[in-house]
Amino acid sequence: MATRSCSYAFLLLVAFQSAVMKGDTVRPPPQCRPVPASTLEKIEFVLNLIVYRAEIFLRSSVGRGINGISPGLVQGPVPIGATVAELDGEIRDIIEEFGLSGVGHIRAIVNVTEIKAPVARPQLNFSRQLFSDLIDVVLNGSALTPPFDVYGATTNFLFVAADASSLLQQYLLGIIPSVVGDAERRLVAGIALKVAAEFGVIRAQLYGRANSTVSPYKFTVANLTMLISQLVNQLAGCGVKDEGLMVPLQLGAENRTTSNVVPADVYSLASPRYERELLKILFGTGNATRPGGFFPSGFNGTLFRRIQTQGLS
């Protein structure tokens, strides 16, 4: 009996060691890891992303914001620059639905956690100029003529819709392993799976247009998607987590395909992103403590304030 339990212990030890060895042996640097925080602080942080996405989706599809759907749900400065976009009927339905699901997710957070309505809304900048400046950066600083108009065509808006969804999904994946509490885990996983499905729908729409040119320019949808993903990866500085719609075989699923409708790692797992990466990307500054871009006054909540105070740029 003693021998038996001893060998069990040995087997367990071996299993544990091989699990450790099979995992990522190279620990990512601190700026690519979660910032220590409570579950509530992480949910506060993710609210910034949910509000950001719901506001632009609703304002672009139906010309109303979150409070226009659910009065008093959010409070804070009115987003700058959003306007109804030229979307074809199918995409307008999709974007409106996904904007509305964001409102539901905020209500669910208010229901399950200590966070109360009205939820803090950060200053958001959705100005046409900001998007066109970003696309110029994506294209290595050569100014497009005419300037890229995010609200001017269905395809133009899809790039933004995909990125907003990707970032939210990546952060949710980043926090899932550390969320404490059954209700909180159900909440975060429920939001994450819904947003991941929505991200897939939007990527599939982009994939269907992959070889079309982005009118009136020469480059294709696949070209721009790839270039945007490169800029996002560069701003975040934590490796390749965003990818284009078509990839070399060795980056495709099981090295057997060049299609890349839904990006993932070598095991086809979704890639998480953490707080500092998100801030660097959404501020557009590559610096998590230097607000700008879509969040000119930074994020709301304790976790962002701590990142600033501690200078975790």
Ligand X SMILES: *[C@@H]1O[C@H](CO)[C@@H](O)[C@H](O)[C@H]1NC(C)=O
Q: Of 11 and 186, which CB lies nearer to ligand X in the complex structure? A: 186
x/- mask, ligand X, residues 266-285, rule CB under 6 A, reads x-------------------
How near is the Cβ of 222 to ligand X at its closest, in Å? Answer: 4
CA distances, 233 to each of 46, 229, 242, 278, 294 (Å): 20, 6, 6, 11, 17
Q: Of 16 and 187, which CB lies nearer to ligand X in the complex structure? A: 187
Q: Which residue has the tokens 């021998």?
A: 3
Which tokens in the block code for residue 115?
């966070």
Q: Of 11 and 266, which CB lies nearer to ligand X in the complex structure? A: 266
How near is the Cβ of 2 to ligand X at its closest, in Å? Answer: 42
Q: CB-side exposure of 31: number of CA atoms within 13 Å?
A: 16
Give yes or no for residue 149 binding ligand X (CB under 6 A).
no
Q: Of 67 and 123, which CB lies nearer to ligand X in the complex structure? A: 123
Q: Of 14 and 104, which CB lies nearer to ligand X in the complex structure? A: 104
From 10-18, 21-29, 270-278, 288-296, span contacting ligand X (CB under 6 A): 288-296
Residues ≥6 apart with Cβ < 8 Å to 176: 185, 188, 189, 192
Contact residue for ligand X among 165, 169, 260, 289 (CB under 6 A): 289
For residue 35, the Cα-to-chain-centroid distance in whole angstroms is 17
DSSP state of 213: B
> Are the C-beta atoms of 263 and 242 separated by less than 8 Å?
yes
How near is the Cβ of 144 to ligand X at its closest, in Å? Answer: 11
CA distances, 54 to each of 46, 79, 105 (Å): 12, 11, 10
Number of chain positions touching ligand X (CB under 6 A): 36
For residue 66, the Cα-to-chain-centroid distance in whole angstroms is 19
x/- mask, ligand X, residues 38-77, rule CB under 6 A, reads --------------------------------------xx
Type and span of the H or E element at 69:
helix 66-69
Q: How far apart are CA 90 and CA 61, in angstroms?
A: 11
Contact residue for ligand X among 31, 70, 127, 233 (CB under 6 A): 127
How near is the Cβ of 276 to ligand X at its closest, in Å? Answer: 11
x/- mask, ligand X, residues 97-126, rule CB under 6 A, reads -----------x--xx-------x-xx-x-
Q: How far apart are CA 192 and CA 187, in angstroms?
A: 9
Q: How far apart are CA 115 and CA 236, in angstroms?
A: 29
Peptide bond into 216 cis (omega under 30): yes
Q: Of 127 and 178, which CB lies nearer to ligand X in the complex structure? A: 127
How near is the Cβ of 51 to ligand X at its closest, in Å? Answer: 10
> Are the C-beta atoms of 11 and 66 separated by less than 8 Å?
no
From 92-100, 128-136, 153-161, 194-202, span contacting ligand X (CB under 6 A): 128-136
Residues between 188 and 247 that touch ligand X (CB under 6 A): 207-208, 210-211, 220, 222-223, 226-227
CA distances, 1 to each of 4, 6, 10, 12 (Å): 5, 8, 14, 16
How near is the Cβ of 255 to ligand X at its closest, in Å? Answer: 4
> Are the C-beta atoms of 217 and 180 separated by less than 8 Å?
no
Residues forming contacts to ligand X in the complex (CB under 6 A) are: 76-77, 80, 108, 111-112, 120, 122-123, 125, 127, 129-130, 133, 139-140, 207-208, 210-211, 220, 222-223, 226-227, 250, 254-255, 266, 287, 289-290, 296-297, 300, 313
